[in-house]
Amino acid sequence: MKISRNPDTIHTPVAPYVHQIEITGTNRWLTLSGQLGMDIDGTLPENPLEQMKLALENVKRNLEAAEMKVNDLTKLVFYLVGEFEAKQRRKIISDFLGEHFPCTTMVYVVALAAPAFKVEIDAWACKEVE
DSSP states of the chain as a string? -EEEE--TTSPPPSSS--SEEEE-SSEEEEEEEEEES--TTS---SSHHHHHHHHHHHHHHHHHHTT--GGGEEEEEEEE-S---HHHHHHHHHHHHTT---EEEEEE-S--SSTT--EEEEEEEEEE--
Mean pLDDT for 10-27 is 92
Output the CA–CA distances (angstroms, integers) from residue 8 to 11, 23, 35, 122, in the order listed. 7, 20, 33, 28
Mean pLDDT for 87-105 is 96
Percent of the chain with pLDDT over 90: 93
pLDDT at 15: 84
Mean pLDDT for 4-15 is 93
Q: How many residues does the chain have?
A: 130
Mean pLDDT for 35-47 is 96
Distance of alpha carbon 84 from alpha carbon 127, whole angstroms? 32
Please, are residues 70 and 60 in contact by the beta-carbon 8 Å criterion? yes
Distance of alpha carbon 123 from alpha carbon 57, whole angstroms? 12
To the question of domain 2-128 being in CATH 3.40.50.300, the answer is no
